Structure 1
Amino acid sequence: MWADLKARLLYAGKVRITGEEADTFIARSRAGPGAGGAGSVFFSMNGRRVRLTLSKTAGAEIVHKGNGQAILLFEGQEYTGVLEKPGHHCPRQAYLTVTGSCVYRCRYCNVWRNPGTRRSIDEIEQMVSDVFPDIDAISLTSGVLTDTREEEDYVLGVVRRLRHFNLPIGVSIYPSPGTSERLKDAGATEVKFNLEAATAELFSLMCPKMNREDAISALLAAVSIFGKDHVFSNIILGLGETDEEMTACIENLCRHGIMPVIRPLTPGGDLVHYQPPGPERIVRIARILEQNLLRYGLDPKNALTMCPACTGCDLIPGRDT
């Protein structure tokens, strides 16, 4: 039941909140699909969660009863659950954007349209301290302020500073040759290098200034360094790929020990006219992912950081199914 309900909620995408004041439960993002928006909430039932963007005009409604107790009104049904307090960006993690701007102009992304600042290492350390010890992990993502190597060097400094918290640290940046070794030496626990699109042709269309082979090479190298269940790659579902193309991408990653994170498209940037994938397709692809994870011995329940540990934006086999 949960997988089908979550797929329909991911497709709807938005919710309005009524009832008691809920500001402490609202997360705001500087990167990803919610960058620059009104914020989002994490609604949870029996330990399974979904992230929904706030909108005063949304059809779905969450009635906050106070202290996080909530009722979701959706498609004529009521669901009793809770609102989870975010650490930073998502529950139980300090998931932080290091640099809130980017020199790349990927068509699905809004970050380069609304550039933010680079956080200082002192600021990042303080942000983690603010939510410690009520978190289980630290996750870092970043745009590219000037070039990829300069960005990596800065993020390495952040990772070194945060090691004293003795928490798993996940990092998602644009990689260069040797990035995984340097991140591991600095103290990172997991990495996520994003292929973004299921095919090379779609990647070239969506990210014309980036090189998909950089991510592929980095992912292959990372598995021997971080181990299976600790190397991830986001693949956006709904950019124009067929089910067969998505299946081939999933199988290829899993075969090499890389865990795909299938992210339903949130139309934005140049893709505001795109239709997000429907609930049936979200579930169908999640089942294909589940089959390949089992076939190649990968288990998302072992993930410690970032999206596979959060599950809010994606249908994650083993955690949601």
Structure 2
Amino acid sequence: MEEDLTLKKARFILADLVQVPEGASPPVRISNSTAGPGAGSSSIVISFNGMRVKKGISTAESLFKMSDDFDKVTVDGKDFLDVKVEPVCYHCPDQAFFNLDERCMYHCIYCASPLLDHNKAKSLTAERMVDMIRANGHVKAIAITSGVYESVQSTIDRMVECVRYLHNEFPELPIGVEPYVDDHEQIDALKDAGATEIKINCEAARKDIFMKVCPELDQDNIIDMLSYAVKIFGKGKVASNIIVGLGESDDDVTSLVKRLAELGITAGLRPLKLNGFVKEQFIEKMGYIAPNTPERLVDLAKKQKSIFENYGLSPKTFDTMCFKCTCCDIVPFIDL
């Protein structure tokens, strides 16, 4: 029964938008993302049986439909899940996950953030973030990411400034950071400012694929930064995303998960999601889309879990960011 629910979560993750009734309003505030797989879309967090999925919503026709009372999801007219819509603090349940700058000088072909309308971009200052956290009243953790605009160092300097300010205002709250870094001293600075966890993303399971999808970045340097981060933040507090569905094999994925685990790094597996902003450019440059299946996501998560067990790692050691949220992935020890 438990695996059936995990498969349902995997199917739900891979689904397109959920159709909501015309004129109906969700019982919670809608989340508008500027980072991650939902960048540029409006979404809600849907929970069931202790699991969560964050889904984009629309009134357009979709296979997945939400009931008028937002308590049931149907597929092709048949009951799929009894659900509850969870409130989001900022981007995540229980977390204030802020994107300092959606602009980015890099051009990873699956990322929608650089393609958004930057004339409407919000300017987030540390003071503004403090006001938002206090106004919400339910924030249990803080997380900060950012596109890289102008330079890596200037972006890190701004993130360090925000982390230090937030840590001084909310010393009781854990702070996770998801930066792009290219120097060990940047990691030191983030830790010294008050960050408690860090996520630096490997993105692709195979280096040749990485060079196609993130042609301006250096995966070897990313892994070096991750290895150094373990020395500074500690085992169980350093994470990395691996996107699955870029054309890699299952062995490619598990090989990188194991390589990172040997270094004390907890790797998350993020199924590729291409929204309308990036799908055309992705196909143009890659020549294909390698679709995931629910069965593949669950099978990979089982292998991921086994590797974690062998190396004494668990997503449960994280208090911030994706492993705490659980909305976008099948998370070992939580979803299976």
Interval of TM-score (by shorter of Structure 1 and Structure 2): over 0.9
Per the alignment, residue 136 of structure 1 pairs with: 140
Distance in 1 between residues matched to 2:188 and 2:208, nearest whole Å = 29
Contact 1:17 1:63 in 2 (8 A): yes
Bigger mean CA offset, 180-189 vs 12-21: 12-21
* Residues 60-81 of structure 1: per-residue CA shift (max 9 Å, x gap): 112252xxx6112135224222
Aligned residue type for 2:317: N
Contact 2:47 2:85 in 1 (8 A): yes
Per the alignment, residue 11 of structure 2 pairs with: 8
**Closer/same/farther in 2, CA of residues 60 and 234 from structure 1, 3 Å limit:** same
Distance in 1 between residues matched to 2:48 and 2:146, nearest whole Å = 31
Per the alignment, residue 129 of structure 2 pairs with: 124
Q: How many angstroms does 1:120 deviate by?
A: 2.1
* Residues 244-299 of structure 1: per-residue CA shift (max 9 Å, x gap): 11111111111111011100000242226624311111111111111101110101
**Closer/same/farther in 2, CA of residues 320 and 64 from structure 1, 3 Å limit:** farther
Q: How many angstroms does 1:118 deviate by?
A: 4.2
Residue 296 (structure 2) pairs with residue 281 (structure 1): yes
Per the alignment, residue 113 of structure 1 pairs with: 115
Per the alignment, residue 307 of structure 1 pairs with: 322
Q: How many angstroms does 1:200 deviate by?
A: 1.2
SS, match of residue 32 in structure 2: coil
Distance in 2 between residues matched to 1:47 and 1:82, nearest whole Å = 10
Structure 1 segments of 4 or more deviating over 3 A?
115-118
Contact 1:25 1:83 in 2 (8 A): no
Residue 163 (structure 2) pairs with residue 159 (structure 1): yes
Residue pairs, 1:10-159, within 5 angstroms: 10-18=13-21, 20-22=24-26, 24-37=28-41, 39-55=42-58, 56-65=60-69, 70-74=71-75, 76-114=78-116, 115=118, 116=121, 118-132=123-137, 134-159=138-163
Per the alignment, residue 216 of structure 1 pairs with: 223
Aligned residue type for 1:127: M
Residue in structure 2 matching 1:271, options 275, 282, 294:
282
Per the alignment, residue 202 of structure 2 pairs with: 195
CA RMSD of aligned residues (A): 1.6
Contact 2:247 2:290 in 1 (8 A): no
Gapped regions of structure 2 (runs ≥ 5): none
Distance in 1 between residues matched to 2:123 and 2:16, nearest whole Å = 29
Gapped regions of structure 1 (runs ≥ 5): none
SS, match of residue 114 in structure 2: coil
SS, match of residue 328 in structure 2: coil
Distance in 2 between residues matched to 1:252 and 1:78, nearest whole Å = 38
SS, match of residue 115 in structure 2: coil
* Residues 11-58 of structure 1: per-residue CA shift (max 9 Å, x gap): 213211238521634211011121112x11111113211111113222
**Closer/same/farther in 2, CA of residues 43 and 64 from structure 1, 3 Å limit:** farther
Tell me the TM-score normalised to structure 1 length.
0.94
Identical positions, percent: 35
Distance in 1 between residues matched to 2:260 and 2:5, nearest whole Å = 26
Aligned residue type for 2:226: L
Q: How many angstroms does 1:127 deviate by?
A: 2.0
Q: How many angstroms does 1:204 deviate by?
A: 0.7
Contact 1:14 1:54 in 2 (8 A): yes
